[in-house]
A and B are shown apart, each in its own frame.
Chain A
Amino acid sequence: MTATAHLSAPSLQQLAPHVTPKVRDGDLATAQMGLLAVGVVLIGAAWATGTHFYFSYLVGYMGMLAICLGALFFTMLQHITRAGWSVVVRRLAENIAGVLPFMLVLFIPLLVGFGELYHHWAEPNAADGVLEGKNVWLNTTFFFVRVAIYFAIWIGLVWFFRGNSIKQDETGDPALSLKMARVAAPGLLLFALSLTFASFDWIMSLDPHWFSTIFGLTYFAGGFMGFAAFVILLARWLGAKGYLQGAITTEHFHDLGKFLFAFMVFWTYTNFSQYMLIWYANLPEETGWFLRRAENGWGSIGTILVIGHFLFPFAFLLSRNVKRHPVGLSIGAIFLLVMHCFDMQFLILPEAGGTHAGGHGGAHAEHATSATGAHAADGAVARFTHSFGDYLHQIDWADFGCFVGMMAIVAGLTLFNIRRTNLVPVRDPRLAESLHFTNV
């Protein structure tokens, strides 16, 4: 290097020589290819055998999109707050967010299934005045334009934040950190709007009559929690492979555990806010959505979400000892990823009813008789079991298969990104602070 007068941050090599900065050549390639293969096979099998494939695919796609967007949010959040603790974790988040350009390609099946998913508003009943009024927003052309806008925003933000962070690996220029902190503010604004409207377009419009202004926030809260769980498991796995040891410590896992806990609670907070207002006002145009989620076994999934997405993990993850325990935190993370899958099913699948009702006509008839009161006298457990039986009756293996498959693909693509960059921002000005970070 020539002796210029510009500032330059110390490197990982100087600060922590024992930490491997990069995945060794060829290492983790098997895992990457294996994950991608598993993902493609699962989704392929779901496509071949699924009873409502496009809905199953939407469950997996929206579940993992939320996690990738959570990673993008995390990156910008660290910049706008100029956070020191998170520098060693940030590159993982950047590389998960770096899957977003691939998510554009993975969106193609949804374009193919567009007619099946969104026919309620794409080909509305002429007598439906409500949808006629909503036609300004919910029309096919504008829908596709918006898909382009959302992805342009997300890919642009990923390109900027991941790109500049990688550039800083070379130059160590602190000015890049300041630049990213400045862009993070408008970036977060664009992010909030695009995520909100994307969730309106791709999930909420499955029932085009229904509306909830908090819907985008509930989707984001669950997604960011999913991201925290995903990055915890990713960092643990890389640790087991011998990477990032001495960089990401118990202290950082503790903080990621706090994020996991906090956004699990935030998900509950937003969902309850949505539920209580609708339940209280009791307006037919709003309650229909929840009514459909009380029938056909979806009530049992609602119960599972209340317990599994809030009560149990709240008690389990509350203690700092659990958040600082490697196995304890991983169990919490895996458990909440399963709940994230149920959450996506709960949002999406009850709307799939019309497309495959033929095969399950018997189940509906049985449900109608059972709802008349024969079961009202049963205990809560018996009612739950009966409802869960209904759920199993209409659920397809692909509703889980696509979620797992999509997660494998996203994990594989994340590894693809990880193998091409440094594991941490090696010359971030706050790297030293992050390496020495401790919780009080």
Chain B
Amino acid sequence: MASTDKWGIVAEFESASAIYQAAEKTTAQGYTRVDAHTPFPVHGLDKALRQGQSHLGWIVICCGMTGILLAQLMMWWMNDVDYTMWVAGKEPYAWPTTIPVTFELMVLLSGFGAVFGMFGLNKLPRLNHPIFTHKTFWRVTDDRFFLSIEATDPKFDSQQTVRFLESIGGKNVAVVED
């Protein structure tokens, strides 16, 4: 059983292909709470990490639908109920006039849903992260690639996991405290 004061184990790799292969081997070994940290997007890495499809789309569509509903409700209330006004012989609540506003509000709320939903799913914003205590992790924005296995992983074991990461070519393998 992993103790609560450990966040996980971090290993350093020197190239995109090295981390790709390491990710494949790690997930093949049965580790599930694995993540990769790279200076640039590495194609296919999601698949090697066996990460599922993001749920962000559902958040976005819910926000978009809310936008449509809200816009229609707003215009119906304002134009038809609260302060009825006939302009140029058009019905106060005529559908063609409502489309631009409905469209804009749908886009706006979808955009909010996408950005803030992404923040939420990533548990952002936060001021610090345990992984930053790893002594070479600063190179992640420059020329190094890191693989992390979290302590909450059912297969996690502070000694065996370290040995495993070293066996697949990881350098500077270290346990990171929470």
Main SS of the interface on chain A? Answer: helix
Chain A 271-302 interface 0/1 with B at a Cβ cutoff of 8 Å (1 = within): 01001100110100000000000000000000
Contact of A282 among B44, B46, B61, B89 (CB under 8 A): B89
Contact in complex: B43, A280 (CB < 8 Å): no
Residue of B nearest to A281 (CB): B88
- Please give the distance in Å from A280's CB to the nearest CB on chain B: 7
Contact in complex: A276, B88 (CB < 8 Å): no
- Complex Cα distance, B47 from A440, in Å, reads 10
- What residues of chain A lie closer than 8 Å to B46, measured between beta carbons? 440
Cβ of A438 < 8 Å from any Cβ of B? yes
- What residues of chain B lie closer than 8 Å to A318, measured between beta carbons? 61
Chain B 31-73 interface 0/1 with A at a Cβ cutoff of 8 Å (1 = within): 0000000000101101000000000000001000000000000
Cβ of B85 < 8 Å from any Cβ of A? no
Contact of A280 among B41, B44, B61, B88 (CB under 8 A): B88
Q: Identify which of A275, A280, A282, A440 gathers the most chain B CB atoms within 10 Å of its CB.
A: A280
- Complex Cα distance, B102 from A276, in Å, reads 14
Given A438-B43, A438-B44, are A280 and B99 neighbors across the interface (CB < 8 Å)?
Answer: no
Number of residues on chain B facing chain A (CB within 8 A): 12
Contact in complex: A282, B99 (CB < 8 Å): no
- Complex Cα distance, B17 from A415, in Å, reads 42
Residue of A nearest to B61 (CB): A318
- Please give the distance in Å from A324's CB to the nearest CB on chain B: 11
- Complex Cα distance, B88 from A275, in Å, reads 16
Contact in complex: B88, A282 (CB < 8 Å): yes
Chain A 411-440 interface 0/1 with B at a Cβ cutoff of 8 Å (1 = within): 000000000000000000000000000101
- Complex Cα distance, B103 from A276, in Å, reads 14
- What residues of chain A lie closer than 8 Å to B125, measured between beta carbons? none
Chain B 115-148 interface 0/1 with A at a Cβ cutoff of 8 Å (1 = within): 0000000000000000000000000000000000
| Additional pairs, 17, CB under 8 Å, beyond known A280-B90, A440-B46 | A272-B96, A272-B99, A275-B96, A276-B96, A276-B97, A276-B99, A276-B100, A279-B96, A280-B88, A280-B96, A280-B97, A282-B88, A282-B89, A318-B61, A438-B43, A438-B44, A440-B41
- Of all A-B residue pairs in the complex, the 10 with the closest CB atoms, nearest first, are A276-B96, A279-B96, A438-B43, A272-B99, A438-B44, A276-B99, A282-B88, A275-B96, A280-B96, A280-B88
A-B contacts, 19 listed (Cβ < 8 Å): A272-B96, A272-B99, A275-B96, A276-B96, A276-B97, A276-B99, A276-B100, A279-B96, A280-B88, A280-B90, A280-B96, A280-B97, A282-B88, A282-B89, A318-B61, A438-B43, A438-B44, A440-B41, A440-B46
Using a CB–CB distance below 8 Å, which chain A residues touch chain B? 272, 275-276, 279-280, 282, 318, 438, 440
